[in-house]
Protein backbone atom coordinates (compact mmCIF):
# COMPACT_ATOMS: atom_id res chain seq x y z
CA UNK A 1 0.00 0.00 0.00
CA UNK A 2 1.34 3.41 -0.99
CA UNK A 3 1.12 5.90 1.84
CA UNK A 4 -0.14 9.42 1.10
CA UNK A 5 2.96 11.17 2.51
CA UNK A 6 6.71 10.71 2.39
CA UNK A 7 7.22 13.03 5.35
CA UNK A 8 5.13 14.57 8.11
CA UNK A 9 6.54 17.47 10.18
CA UNK A 10 5.40 16.72 13.75
CA UNK A 11 5.39 20.01 15.64
CA UNK A 12 4.85 22.24 12.61
CA UNK A 13 3.29 25.01 14.72
CA UNK A 14 6.34 25.38 16.99
CA UNK A 15 9.17 27.84 16.32
CA UNK A 16 11.59 25.34 14.78
CA UNK A 17 8.78 23.37 13.13
CA UNK A 18 7.69 26.53 11.33
CA UNK A 19 11.25 27.05 10.06
CA UNK A 20 11.26 23.48 8.74
CA UNK A 21 7.99 24.13 6.90
CA UNK A 22 9.42 27.38 5.48
CA UNK A 23 12.41 25.48 4.17
CA UNK A 24 10.22 22.73 2.70
CA UNK A 25 8.16 25.38 0.89
CA UNK A 26 11.30 26.98 -0.49
CA UNK A 27 13.19 23.85 -1.45
CA UNK A 28 10.61 21.07 -1.82
CA UNK A 29 7.51 22.63 -3.32
CA UNK A 30 4.80 20.89 -5.28
CA UNK A 31 7.03 20.28 -8.32
CA UNK A 32 9.75 18.53 -6.26
CA UNK A 33 7.88 15.24 -6.04
CA UNK A 34 8.28 15.13 -2.24
CA UNK A 35 4.90 14.55 -0.62
CA UNK A 36 4.90 16.23 2.78
CA UNK A 37 2.39 17.40 5.37
CA UNK A 38 2.25 19.65 8.40
CA UNK A 39 1.47 17.84 11.64
CA UNK A 40 0.40 19.06 15.06
CA UNK A 41 -2.14 18.63 17.83
CA UNK A 42 -4.51 21.42 16.77
CA UNK A 43 -6.03 21.67 13.29
CA UNK A 44 -6.89 25.36 13.65
CA UNK A 45 -3.31 26.26 14.69
CA UNK A 46 -1.95 24.23 11.78
CA UNK A 47 -4.19 26.09 9.34
CA UNK A 48 -3.20 29.44 10.85
CA UNK A 49 0.52 28.66 10.54
CA UNK A 50 0.03 27.39 6.99
CA UNK A 51 -1.66 30.66 6.03
CA UNK A 52 0.86 32.82 7.93
CA UNK A 53 3.73 31.18 6.07
CA UNK A 54 2.03 31.69 2.71
CA UNK A 55 1.81 27.97 2.04
CA UNK A 56 -0.66 26.80 -0.61
CA UNK A 57 -4.17 26.36 0.74
CA UNK A 58 -4.08 22.68 -0.19
CA UNK A 59 -0.95 21.96 1.91
CA UNK A 60 -1.94 18.78 3.79
CA UNK A 61 -2.55 19.07 7.54
CA UNK A 62 -2.39 16.04 9.82
CA UNK A 63 -3.59 16.16 13.43
CA UNK A 64 -0.98 14.24 15.45
CA UNK A 65 -1.15 13.72 19.19
CA UNK A 66 1.74 11.71 20.61
CA UNK A 67 -0.30 11.02 23.76
CA UNK A 68 -3.10 9.35 21.81
CA UNK A 69 -2.31 5.79 20.59
CA UNK A 70 -5.02 5.92 17.91
CA UNK A 71 -3.65 9.21 16.58
CA UNK A 72 -0.13 7.74 16.46
CA UNK A 73 -1.40 4.65 14.67
CA UNK A 74 -3.15 6.82 12.10
CA UNK A 75 0.08 8.79 11.61
CA UNK A 76 2.06 5.58 11.05
CA UNK A 77 -0.40 4.57 8.32
CA UNK A 78 -0.05 7.89 6.51
CA UNK A 79 3.68 8.55 6.24
CA UNK A 80 7.03 6.94 5.42
CA UNK A 81 8.94 9.24 7.80
CA UNK A 82 8.22 11.46 10.80
CA UNK A 83 10.34 14.58 11.30
CA UNK A 84 9.77 15.72 14.87
CA UNK A 85 10.78 19.01 16.45
CA UNK A 86 8.71 18.40 19.60
CA UNK A 87 11.01 18.31 22.62
CA UNK A 88 12.17 17.76 25.25
CA UNK A 89 12.02 14.29 23.74
CA UNK A 90 12.20 12.58 27.13
CA UNK A 91 8.87 14.25 27.90
CA UNK A 92 7.15 14.08 24.52
CA UNK A 93 9.01 11.62 22.30
CA UNK A 94 8.98 8.12 23.76
CA UNK A 95 5.61 6.98 22.40
CA UNK A 96 6.45 8.31 18.93
CA UNK A 97 9.77 6.42 18.80
CA UNK A 98 8.00 3.25 19.95
CA UNK A 99 5.31 3.67 17.28
CA UNK A 100 7.83 4.25 14.48
CA UNK A 101 9.99 1.30 15.58
CA UNK A 102 6.96 -0.97 15.63
CA UNK A 103 5.49 0.18 12.31
CA UNK A 104 8.68 0.38 10.24
CA UNK A 105 8.36 4.16 9.83
CA UNK A 106 11.54 6.26 9.59
CA UNK A 107 12.17 8.99 12.17
CA UNK A 108 14.48 12.01 12.56
CA UNK A 109 14.69 14.43 15.46
CA UNK A 110 16.82 17.17 17.06
CA UNK A 111 17.54 15.30 20.28
CA UNK A 112 20.40 16.30 22.56
CA UNK A 113 19.35 14.08 25.47
CA UNK A 114 21.81 11.17 25.74
CA UNK A 115 20.23 9.42 28.72
CA UNK A 116 16.85 9.26 26.97
CA UNK A 117 18.50 8.17 23.73
CA UNK A 118 20.13 5.25 25.54
CA UNK A 119 16.77 4.30 27.01
CA UNK A 120 15.26 4.29 23.51
CA UNK A 121 18.16 2.20 22.17
CA UNK A 122 17.68 -0.38 24.91
CA UNK A 123 13.91 -0.47 24.46
CA UNK A 124 13.47 -0.30 20.68
CA UNK A 125 16.60 -1.08 18.66
CA UNK A 126 15.79 -4.76 18.20
CA UNK A 127 12.27 -3.92 17.05
CA UNK A 128 13.49 -1.18 14.67
CA UNK A 129 15.91 -3.61 13.07
CA UNK A 130 13.12 -6.12 12.57
CA UNK A 131 10.59 -3.62 11.19
CA UNK A 132 13.06 -1.72 9.01
CA UNK A 133 12.48 1.62 10.79
CA UNK A 134 15.52 3.91 10.59
CA UNK A 135 15.51 5.99 13.78
CA UNK A 136 18.08 8.80 13.49
CA UNK A 137 18.58 11.02 16.52
CA UNK A 138 20.37 14.39 16.71
CA UNK A 139 19.88 15.73 13.17
CA UNK A 140 20.50 19.40 13.98
CA UNK A 141 23.49 21.41 15.16
CA UNK A 142 23.78 18.67 17.70
CA UNK A 143 25.19 16.63 16.18
CA UNK A 144 25.42 16.73 12.37
CA UNK A 145 28.38 19.13 11.84
CA UNK A 146 30.44 17.29 14.47
CA UNK A 147 29.46 13.74 13.57
CA UNK A 148 30.03 14.32 9.85
CA UNK A 149 33.15 16.42 10.44
CA UNK A 150 34.83 13.53 12.27
CA UNK A 151 33.51 11.09 9.65
CA UNK A 152 35.09 13.09 6.81
CA UNK A 153 38.36 13.57 8.69
CA UNK A 154 38.70 9.84 9.35
CA UNK A 155 37.92 8.95 5.75
CA UNK A 156 40.66 11.31 4.58
CA UNK A 157 43.14 10.05 7.21
CA UNK A 158 42.68 6.49 6.00
CA UNK A 159 42.94 7.51 2.35
CA UNK A 160 46.18 9.46 2.90
CA UNK A 161 47.93 7.55 5.67
CA UNK A 162 46.29 4.12 5.73
CA UNK A 163 44.92 4.46 9.22
CA UNK A 164 42.36 6.53 11.14
CA UNK A 165 43.29 9.24 13.62
CA UNK A 166 43.42 7.81 17.13
CA UNK A 167 43.03 11.34 18.55
CA UNK A 168 40.63 13.96 17.20
CA UNK A 169 40.02 17.42 18.59
CA UNK A 170 36.79 19.22 17.70
CA UNK A 171 37.33 22.96 18.15
CA UNK A 172 34.63 25.58 17.63
CA UNK A 173 36.60 28.46 16.11
CA UNK A 174 33.76 30.92 15.56
CA UNK A 175 30.05 30.94 16.25
CA UNK A 176 27.36 33.59 16.16
CA UNK A 177 23.83 32.77 17.18
CA UNK A 178 21.73 31.46 20.00
CA UNK A 179 20.91 28.02 21.27
CA UNK A 180 17.25 27.13 21.00
CA UNK A 181 14.65 27.23 23.74
CA UNK A 182 14.22 23.53 23.09
CA UNK A 183 17.89 22.95 23.92
CA UNK A 184 17.46 24.84 27.19
CA UNK A 185 14.29 22.91 28.05
CA UNK A 186 16.01 19.61 27.28
CA UNK A 187 18.89 20.50 29.59
CA UNK A 188 16.49 21.34 32.42
CA UNK A 189 14.46 18.15 31.87
CA UNK A 190 17.65 16.09 31.86
CA UNK A 191 18.86 17.63 35.09
CA UNK A 192 15.48 16.98 36.69
CA UNK A 193 15.59 13.34 35.54
CA UNK A 194 19.11 12.95 36.93
CA UNK A 195 17.97 14.30 40.29
CA UNK A 196 15.25 11.63 40.41
CA UNK A 197 17.31 8.73 39.06
CA UNK A 198 21.03 8.22 39.78
CA UNK A 199 21.20 5.89 36.77
CA UNK A 200 20.53 8.89 34.50
CA UNK A 201 23.46 10.73 36.06
CA UNK A 202 25.70 7.73 35.41
CA UNK A 203 24.70 7.78 31.74
CA UNK A 204 25.34 11.52 31.50
CA UNK A 205 28.85 11.11 32.90
CA UNK A 206 29.81 8.20 30.65
CA UNK A 207 31.37 9.12 27.26
CA UNK A 208 30.28 5.67 26.04
CA UNK A 209 26.68 5.87 27.21
CA UNK A 210 25.43 5.25 23.64
CA UNK A 211 27.67 2.23 22.92
CA UNK A 212 26.01 -0.64 24.84
CA UNK A 213 28.57 -3.26 25.82
CA UNK A 214 31.63 -1.21 24.80
CA UNK A 215 33.80 1.02 26.97
CA UNK A 216 36.72 2.71 25.24
CA UNK A 217 39.77 4.50 26.64
CA UNK A 218 39.63 7.40 29.08
CA UNK A 219 38.42 10.58 27.39
CA UNK A 220 39.33 14.22 28.11
CA UNK A 221 36.74 15.88 30.33
CA UNK A 222 36.74 19.21 28.48
CA UNK A 223 35.18 20.89 31.51
CA UNK A 224 37.93 23.42 32.36
CA UNK A 225 39.63 26.24 30.43
CA UNK A 226 43.13 25.32 29.27
CA UNK A 227 45.78 25.98 26.64
CA UNK A 228 45.37 23.46 23.83
CA UNK A 229 48.92 22.33 23.07
CA UNK A 230 47.97 21.35 19.52
CA UNK A 231 46.81 24.88 18.68
CA UNK A 232 48.71 27.02 21.18
CA UNK A 233 45.45 28.78 22.05
CA UNK A 234 43.12 28.94 25.01
CA UNK A 235 40.02 26.78 24.80
CA UNK A 236 36.90 26.68 26.97
CA UNK A 237 34.17 24.11 27.66
CA UNK A 238 31.67 23.78 24.80
CA UNK A 239 28.08 23.33 25.94
CA UNK A 240 27.11 20.83 23.21
CA UNK A 241 30.11 18.54 23.80
CA UNK A 242 28.18 16.34 26.22
CA UNK A 243 25.87 15.15 23.43
CA UNK A 244 28.15 15.45 20.38
CA UNK A 245 30.96 13.34 21.83
CA UNK A 246 28.50 10.56 22.71
CA UNK A 247 27.11 10.56 19.19
CA UNK A 248 30.58 10.46 17.62
CA UNK A 249 31.50 7.46 19.78
CA UNK A 250 28.22 5.77 18.80
CA UNK A 251 29.01 6.36 15.13
CA UNK A 252 32.38 4.68 15.62
CA UNK A 253 30.63 1.81 17.42
CA UNK A 254 28.01 1.37 14.67
CA UNK A 255 30.73 1.31 11.99
CA UNK A 256 32.59 -1.55 13.73
CA UNK A 257 35.12 0.86 15.23
CA UNK A 258 36.26 2.31 11.93
CA UNK A 259 37.98 5.04 13.97
CA UNK A 260 39.69 2.42 16.15
CA UNK A 261 38.81 0.89 19.52
CA UNK A 262 41.33 3.29 21.10
CA UNK A 263 39.70 6.43 19.62
CA UNK A 264 39.86 9.58 21.77
CA UNK A 265 37.69 12.62 21.00
CA UNK A 266 36.78 15.88 22.70
CA UNK A 267 35.21 19.22 21.83
CA UNK A 268 36.01 22.70 23.12
CA UNK A 269 35.59 26.32 22.06
CA UNK A 270 38.60 28.36 20.94
CA UNK A 271 38.85 31.69 22.79
CA UNK A 272 42.24 32.96 21.59
CA UNK A 273 45.80 33.57 22.70
CA UNK A 274 47.39 35.15 25.76
CA UNK A 275 45.69 36.94 28.62
CA UNK A 276 42.71 37.94 26.51
CA UNK A 277 42.14 34.34 25.42
CA UNK A 278 42.41 33.15 29.02
CA UNK A 279 39.96 35.77 30.30
CA UNK A 280 37.42 34.87 27.61
CA UNK A 281 37.84 31.14 28.33
CA UNK A 282 37.15 31.76 32.02
CA UNK A 283 34.06 33.81 31.14
CA UNK A 284 32.72 31.08 28.85
CA UNK A 285 33.28 28.47 31.56
CA UNK A 286 31.40 30.58 34.10
CA UNK A 287 28.39 31.21 31.81
CA UNK A 288 25.37 29.21 33.03
CA UNK A 289 22.73 31.15 31.11
CA UNK A 290 21.50 28.16 29.09
CA UNK A 291 20.18 26.45 32.19
CA UNK A 292 18.85 29.59 33.90
CA UNK A 293 15.27 30.79 34.08
CA UNK A 294 16.31 33.78 31.97
CA UNK A 295 17.33 31.60 29.03
CA UNK A 296 15.33 31.00 25.86
CA UNK A 297 11.99 29.21 26.16
CA UNK A 298 10.52 26.58 23.83
CA UNK A 299 8.66 28.29 21.01
CA UNK A 300 10.83 31.39 21.22
CA UNK A 301 13.70 32.25 18.97
CA UNK A 302 15.69 34.91 17.15
CA UNK A 303 14.42 37.17 14.39
CA UNK A 304 14.96 36.35 10.75
CA UNK A 305 17.75 38.94 10.61
CA UNK A 306 19.48 37.35 13.60
CA UNK A 307 19.14 33.87 12.11
CA UNK A 308 20.50 34.94 8.74
CA UNK A 309 23.46 36.85 10.21
CA UNK A 310 24.53 33.85 12.30
CA UNK A 311 27.22 31.33 11.37
CA UNK A 312 29.64 28.75 12.76
CA UNK A 313 33.09 27.39 11.96
CA UNK A 314 34.39 24.18 13.52
CA UNK A 315 37.87 22.69 13.16
CA UNK A 316 38.60 18.97 13.44
CA UNK A 317 42.25 18.14 14.03
CA UNK A 318 43.24 14.48 13.79
CA UNK A 319 46.54 12.81 14.66
CA UNK A 320 47.73 9.20 14.62
CA UNK A 321 50.45 7.29 16.48
CA UNK A 322 52.89 7.75 13.57
CA UNK A 323 52.70 11.54 13.83
CA UNK A 324 50.49 12.17 10.80
CA UNK A 325 47.96 14.96 11.17
CA UNK A 326 45.05 16.38 9.18
CA UNK A 327 42.61 19.24 9.56
CA UNK A 328 39.00 19.43 8.36
CA UNK A 329 36.79 22.51 8.66
CA UNK A 330 32.99 22.52 8.81
CA UNK A 331 31.07 25.78 8.38
CA UNK A 332 27.43 26.83 8.42
CA UNK A 333 25.82 29.95 6.98
CA UNK A 334 23.05 30.55 9.55
CA UNK A 335 22.77 30.68 13.32
CA UNK A 336 23.34 27.15 14.65
CA UNK A 337 20.27 26.63 16.84
CA UNK A 338 17.56 27.60 14.37
CA UNK A 339 18.47 28.72 10.85
CA UNK A 340 21.03 26.00 10.16
CA UNK A 341 19.34 23.32 12.27
CA UNK A 342 16.02 23.61 10.40
CA UNK A 343 17.81 23.07 7.08
CA UNK A 344 19.93 20.19 8.40
CA UNK A 345 17.06 18.14 9.79
CA UNK A 346 15.03 18.60 6.61
CA UNK A 347 17.88 17.52 4.35
CA UNK A 348 18.62 14.58 6.68
CA UNK A 349 15.01 13.43 6.32
CA UNK A 350 15.07 13.73 2.52
CA UNK A 351 18.49 12.04 2.37
CA UNK A 352 17.16 9.10 4.38
CA UNK A 353 14.15 8.78 2.08
CA UNK A 354 15.84 9.32 -1.28
CA UNK A 355 19.59 8.69 -1.02
CA UNK A 356 20.09 6.21 1.83
CA UNK A 357 17.43 3.67 1.01
CA UNK A 358 19.93 0.86 1.60
CA UNK A 359 20.45 1.81 5.26
CA UNK A 360 18.81 -0.98 7.29
CA UNK A 361 16.48 -0.61 10.21
CA UNK A 362 17.92 0.34 13.60
CA UNK A 363 18.71 3.30 15.82
CA UNK A 364 21.35 5.41 14.11
CA UNK A 365 23.49 8.50 14.25
CA UNK A 366 23.74 10.64 11.09
CA UNK A 367 27.24 9.58 9.92
CA UNK A 368 26.78 5.80 9.63
CA UNK A 369 23.18 6.18 8.43
CA UNK A 370 23.89 8.67 5.62
CA UNK A 371 27.59 9.64 5.56
CA UNK A 372 28.89 11.13 2.32
CA UNK A 373 25.39 11.28 0.85
CA UNK A 374 24.30 13.67 3.58
CA UNK A 375 27.51 15.72 3.30
CA UNK A 376 26.84 16.18 -0.41
CA UNK A 377 23.23 17.19 0.18
CA UNK A 378 24.11 19.65 2.96
CA UNK A 379 26.77 21.30 0.81
CA UNK A 380 24.48 21.51 -2.22
CA UNK A 381 21.40 22.85 -0.45
CA UNK A 382 21.78 23.71 3.25
CA UNK A 383 24.68 26.19 3.37
CA UNK A 384 27.21 23.90 5.03
CA UNK A 385 30.81 23.56 3.91
CA UNK A 386 33.14 20.60 4.50
CA UNK A 387 36.79 21.07 3.53
CA UNK A 388 40.20 19.51 4.14
CA UNK A 389 42.54 22.28 5.34
CA UNK A 390 46.14 21.54 4.38
| Structural domain for 107, as ranges | 5-136
For residues 156 and 131, state if they share a domain: no
For residues 111 and 148, state if they share a domain: no
For residues 99 and 150, state if they share a domain: no
Domain boundary among 102, 120, 136: 136
For residues 231 and 318, state if they share a domain: yes
How many residues are present in the chain?
390
Structure confidence at residue 36 as a pLDDT band (50, 70, 90): very high
294: pLDDT strictly greater than 70: no
For residues 129 and 161, state if they share a domain: no
Q: How far apart are CA 382 and CA 23, in angstroms?
A: 10
For residues 246 and 304, state if they share a domain: yes
For residues 18 and 124, state if they share a domain: yes
Give tens-digit pLDDT for 87-126. Answer: 899 999 999 999 999 999 999 999 999 999 999 999 999 9
362: pLDDT strictly greater than 70: yes
Does 165 reside within a domain?
yes
pTM of the predicted protein model:
0.95
For residues 126 and 163, state if they share a domain: no
For residues 72 and 128, state if they share a domain: yes
Lowest mean pLDDT segment, chosen from 78-82, 176-180, 264-268: 176-180
For residues 260 and 312, state if they share a domain: yes
Does 345 reside within a domain?
no
Q: How far apart are CA 42 and CA 17, in angstroms?
A: 14
For residues 297 and 186, state if they share a domain: yes
Share of the chain above pLDDT 90, in %: 82
Does 181 reside within a domain?
yes
For residues 43 and 176, state if they share a domain: no
Does 273 reside within a domain?
yes
Q: How far apart are CA 15 and CA 385, in angstroms?
A: 25
Does 368 reside within a domain?
no
Q: What is the CATH number of the domain that holds 65?
A: 3.40.50.720
Strands of the 311-319 sheet, one edge to the other? 226-228, 233-237, 264-272, 167-176, 311-319, 325-332, 384-388
Report the number of distinct structural domains present in the chain: 2
Domain boundary among 136, 156, 180: 136
Does 215 reside within a domain?
yes
Share of the chain above pLDDT 70, in %: 96
3-state DSSP of the chain: CCCCEEEEEECCCCHHHHHHHHHHHHHCCHHHCCCEEEEECCHHHHHHHHHHCCCCCCCCEEECCCCCHHHHHHHHHHEEEEEECCCCHHHHCHHHHHHHHHHCCEEECCCCCHHHHHHHHHHHHHHHHHHCCEEECCCECCEHHHHHHHHHHHHHHHHHHCCCCCEEEEEEEEEECCCCHHHHHHHHHHHHHHHHCHHHHHHHHCCCCCCCCCCCCCCCCCCCCEEECCCCEEEEECCCHHHHHHHHHHHHHHCCCCCCCCCEEEEEEEEECHHHHHHHHHHHHHCCHHHCCCCCCCCCCCCHHHHHHCEEEEEEEEECCCCCEEEEEEEECCCHHHHHHHHHHHHHHHHHHHCCCCCCCEEECHHHHHHHHHHHHHHHHCCEEEEECC
Does 364 reside within a domain?
no
Lowest mean pLDDT segment, chosen from 59-63, 184-188, 363-367, 380-384: 184-188
188: pLDDT strictly greater than 70: yes
Domain boundary among 106, 136, 166: 136
Does 306 reside within a domain?
yes
Burial of 172-206, coded b for 16+ CB within 10 Å and e otherwise, reads beebebbbbbbbbbbbbbbeebbeeeeebbebbeb
All residues at 6 or more sequence positions from 143 whose CB lies less than 8 Å from its CB, including other chains: 112, 240, 243, 244, 247, 248, 365, 366
Q: How far apart are CA 69 and CA 344, in angstroms?
A: 29
Amino acid sequence: MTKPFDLVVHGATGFTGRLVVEYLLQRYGADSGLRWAMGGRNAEKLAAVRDALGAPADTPLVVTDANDPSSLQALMEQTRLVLTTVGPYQLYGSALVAACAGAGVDYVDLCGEPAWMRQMIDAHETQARASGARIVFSCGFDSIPFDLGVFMLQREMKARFGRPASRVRGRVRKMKGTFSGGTAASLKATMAAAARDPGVLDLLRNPFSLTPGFEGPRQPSGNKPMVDEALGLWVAPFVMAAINTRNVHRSNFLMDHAYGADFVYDEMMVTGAGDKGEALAQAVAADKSLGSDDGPRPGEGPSREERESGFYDVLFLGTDAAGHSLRVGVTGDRDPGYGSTSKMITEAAVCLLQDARDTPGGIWTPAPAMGDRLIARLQAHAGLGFAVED
